[in-house]
Amino acid sequence: MADDKKTLTTGFGMPVDNDLDSMTAGPKGPVLVEDAHLFEKLAHFDRERIPERVVHAKGAGAHGYFEVSRDVTKHTRAKFLSEVGKKTEVFVRFSTVGGERGSADSERDPRGFAVKFYTEEGNYDMVGNNTPVFFIRDPLKFPDFIHTQKRNPATNLKDPDMFWDFLSLTPESIHQVTILFSDRGTPRSYRNMNGHSSHTYMWYNAKGEYCWIKYHFKTEQGIRNFDGPEADRMRGIDPDVTTRDLFQAIARGEHPAWRVEVQIMTPEQAKDYRFDPFDVTKVWPHADVPPVVIGRMVLDRNPENYFAEVEQAAFSPGNFVPGIGPSPDKMLQGRLFSYHDTHRHRLGPNYHLLPINAPKAAPMESYQRDGAMRFDGNGGGGPNYWPNSFGGPAPDAGFALPAIDVAGTAARHAYTLGDVDFVQAGALYRKVMTDTDREHLVANIVGHLKGAQKRIQLRQTALFTKADAEYGWRVAKGLGLDGDEVKRLAAMSQEDRVKATAA
Ligand code: NDP
């Protein structure tokens, strides 16, 4: 027998004599309960699936590194950013958002772009998307929004009425809708798309001086998208096209890379900025806040086991390291809670101990104890409370976030919809998109919106008109709507428009 030949065992390490024939009473007889191996095998199999993520269920991931290329120490004390040339190990997970775990990769959807930096000060997660903005800016709307992107409760089918009803009643979504229905809503591969933090974050230096920043990961492979018909076809030809592409490219030694940029805004600039700089439905125009390159991210290693490394990977925008903190962005504030919470549901309270989620370059010295599946030493015999005088780990006030002024009346403050909410969608359509981009955008919208009721088509097309008159006119034409009626609706307040298009 060769030395490396392994004997099959049960999950508890007992050798197994036969893994093909169940133990039965006679050759044709019923199965015996004493076949512990059979029942252990079936019982474990029955429990193989964990709850899929309620959003971002279908994804692919890879390992790699981030390397600093610019001195940013005057802005942040983060150690992983402290030196030009410094490298930090990362794990990245890309995903679609609305589809189930088996759904097609070429669905029109934003793409998740989540990066875990294993730094010496703990794990830092940048949990972004391939779009620089989002549909909504208040987390209270998030569960409703996601319901409309998923399946109708009666038919269990995707439903254009739900989809467009919500969006047309949520006009701040217009910017993200315009990006989503451009060909950037169907990237050809995960390698060929950008990543954005979308949110604003705080960076602060060793002196406690802070600034506001946004991250952009720019693909070195170039942007490449499917157009609408190609994406439709690809759903049938290869539903796993982007998952396959990422794995195979890395296996071939083609390691995708992104240029990492930040936009930096001073607190003084933010105070008097012409719109709320923490509103995630808006970008910071480059002319106001030019991006600077701070480093490069490379993915060079595939996971060895999808479940262990990709399915169990758990990211949270609440995982910060000293030098980086949150901003008052309301959507971000909601996410700070929600991500950890969903992982506790999906993976259990000790999910941070799983190898893919545990800090690799920093010690973990907390007083958290017990809970389901606590599989490390659980703190051994050391103290499990703070304060203690038995040498347990102590908090260090030197790591405090800078104090920022927060004041105001406690109430449910609504964002007032203003014309400023339509400006950036209009600029994207007019100034950034090419003729082909605009043509595809209109065709992609018409192909989807035509499935909704006419009154919803009218309400949504009025929003496109508010972003840009030609944009709205072309969508109206494609849908066969009365252009004058759309213009009349576009001139109304949102409240009147909703009344005029009520069921
Ligand atoms: P700029 O001309 O300086 O930047 C335009 C940006 O748009 C570039 O970052 C470009 O970078 C990106 N872009 C190009 N084509 C598309 C597309 N079809 N869909 C989405 N993004 C695209 O202008 P501004 O900074 O003044 O922004 C103008 C508009 O550009 C914004 O209203 C916004 O819609 C969009 N945009 C702006 C970003 C920002 O951070 N300022 C970031 C991304 C988009 P790339 O091709 O590398 O993505």
| Ligand 1 centroid – CA 284 distance (Å) | 10
- Return the CATH number at 216: 2.40.180.10
The sign of the dihedral angle between the CA atoms of 7, 10, 15, 16 is negative
pLDDT at 1: 46
**Cα 247 vs. chain centroid, distance in angstroms?**
20
CA angle, 395 as apex, 84 and 123 as ends, to 5°?
A: 40
Q: What is the CATH number of the domain that holds 42?
A: 4.10.91.20
Helix-, strand-, coil-residue percentages of the chain, each rounded to 5: 35, 15, 50
Mutate to test the pocket of ligand 1, among 192, 432, 444 (most ligand atoms within 8 A of CB): 432
411 found inside a domain: no
CA–CA separation, 195 and 177 (whole Å) = 17
Cα of 428 vs centre of ligand 1, distance in Å, is: 7
| Residue at which a domain ends, from 295, 319, 350 | 350
- Convert 281-312 into a string of H (helix), E (strand) and C (coil): CCCCCCCCCCCEEEEEEEEEECCCCHHHHHHC
Q: Which of 280, 318, 132 is nearest to 216 (CA)?
A: 132
Going from the C-alpha of 329 to that of each of 110, 130, 184, 279, 452, the distances in angstroms are 20, 19, 25, 6, 32
Report helix, strand or coil for 442.
helix
Q: What is the mean pLDDT of each run of 10 residues along the chain (503 residues)?
A: 82 96 96 97 96 97 99 98 98 98 98 98 98 98 97 98 98 98 98 98 97 98 98 98 98 98 97 96 98 98 98 98 98 97 97 98 96 96 98 96 92 92 98 98 98 98 98 98 98 97 95
The answer to whether residues 428 and 449 belong to one domain is yes
Q: According to the model, what pLDDT value does residue 383 have? A: 98
Alpha-carbon distance of 298 to 130, in angstroms, equals 17
SS3 state at 472: helix
Q: How many domains does the chain have?
A: 3
Q: Are residues 357 and 312 in contact, defined by beta-carbon separation less than 8 angstroms?
A: yes
Answer yes or no: do 109 and 193 share one domain: yes
Structural domain including 28 reads 1-48
Q: What is the CATH number of the domain that holds 467?
A: 1.20.1370.60
Atom of ligand 1 nearest to the CA of 263: 40
In 3D space, the residue among 208, 121, 266, 119 whose CA is nearest the CA of residue 400 turns out to be 208
Evaluate: CB of 32 within 6 angstroms of ligand 1.
no
Angle ∠(371,61,203) on CA atoms, nearest 5? 75
Q: Is the CB of 95 under 6 A from ligand 1?
A: no
404 Cα: distance to centroid of ligand 1 (angstroms): 30
Q: What is the per-residue pLDDT for 3? A: 64
Instruction: Verify whether ligand 1 is closer than 6 Å to residue 443 (CB atom).
Output: no
CA gap 182, 97 in Å, rounded: 17
